[in-house]
Amino acid sequence: MDTKILIAVEKLCRYYGHHLAVDSISFELAQGEVLGFLGPNGAGKSTTMQMITGNLAPSAGRVTINGTDLLDQARLAKAEIGYLPEQPPVYPDLTVGEYLAYCARLHRVSKKHRGGAISRAVRRCGLQGVEARLIGNLSKGYQQRVGIAQAILHNPAVVVLDEPTVGLDPNQIRDIRALIGELGESHGIILSTHILPEVQATCTRVQIIHRGRLVFAESMQALQQRLSGKALLLETMTALDPAALHQVAGVAAVELVNSCRARVLFDGDNPAAALAACVASHGWGLVELALDRQSLEQVFVELTCNEDETTPAAAA
């Protein structure tokens, strides 16, 4: 059975004056996926989110939401999106019930189906018993739940969550994680966050953006393999040949760092001895051969930490 693609982003670009904040980004999101979208401050993450949700026009490129072009048929495409910005768009002087009824009208939920839609969102977001309370009197965690409820009221194909757990306590974070996981079973979710454990606990895929470009895109399964120590760092005195390394039994992939250094991913038993023999037989000169155990934080820092350049705040 083919997986349904809910978002297709093709060569998306955004300029602020002469500054290129988002540089030709392309990716897809399928139904049932939770995509963790990571990046340092100023990387272009929020700009990308705003373009995907139709709140900011791209300078170039195309976004398709559940088969509908966001530029050509904006109203139809936006109806397929639920969005929770970093600051939840809630009204503290309204009760939860009043606010959700208002949002249902904004989302053009018909009067006939409005009550059912509100009840379903309240149940899914764990808001039973607080419908009559003023939003301003709720905890930050419950206000986030209200924000997510308004995003799913119209049962959109795609839900975009921008920093949904910022400022929450550990129990509230756990509850929101569980909610995101439940939503991910029937929707496509994009989760933008700075909290790396959030991604490992919740997401099925990970993307990292840096200086407007995607520098990392892997499934969580592939990422876990990378983090589990199923890789060796290999450095040689002279240039190595990746094709020759691929011939070594057990080697799954070879990632060149430079001409003399590579990460060798493997399945099953550690092929260090066979790799050393390969290096010797080709006369490359072995400098280092060591197990590479990384954390997601290390991967993030390696891909995004460069003190020689700074990125303007406009790319946030």
Q: 111: pLDDT confidence band, cut at 50, 70 and 90?
A: very high
pLDDT at 201 over 90: no
Q: What is the pLDDT of residue 312?
A: 41
Q: What is the pLDDT of residue 313?
A: 41
pLDDT at 30 over 60: yes
Percent of the chain with pLDDT over 90: 59
Q: 3: pLDDT confidence band, cut at 50, 70 and 90?
A: confident
For 289-306, the pLDDT digits (tens) are: 988 766 777 777 777 875
The mean per-residue pLDDT over the stretch 150-154 comes to 93
pLDDT at 71 over 70: yes
The mean per-residue pLDDT over the stretch 128-143 comes to 93
Domains of the chain (ranges, CATH numbers) = 84-155 (no CATH), 230-292 (3.30.70)
Residue 117, by phi and psi: left (phi above 0), alpha (psi -120 to 50) or beta?
alpha
Q: What is the pLDDT of residue 316?
A: 45
Residue 307, by phi and psi: left (phi above 0), alpha (psi -120 to 50) or beta?
alpha
pLDDT at 150 over 60: yes
Percent of the chain with pLDDT over 70: 94
Q: Which of 91-95, 229-233, 307-311 has the highest mean pLDDT?
A: 91-95
Q: 13 by DSSP, 3-state: which?
A: strand
pLDDT at 310 over 80: no
Q: 314: pLDDT confidence band, cut at 50, 70 and 90?
A: very low
pLDDT at 179 over 90: no
The beta strands (E) that lie in 31-173 are given as: 34-38, 60-65, 68-69, 81-84, 158-162
pLDDT at 311 over 80: no
Q: What is the pLDDT of residue 226?
A: 66
The two tokens of residue 222 are: 């592939």
The mean per-residue pLDDT over the stretch 259-263 comes to 92
Q: How far apart are CA 310 and CA 316, in angstroms?
A: 12
Q: What is the pLDDT of residue 173?
A: 83
Nearest C-alpha neighbor of 244 from the set 258, 225, 229, 264: 264
Hey, how many other C-beta atoms are within 10 angstroms of the C-beta on 181?
Answer: 15
Q: How many residues does the chain have?
A: 316
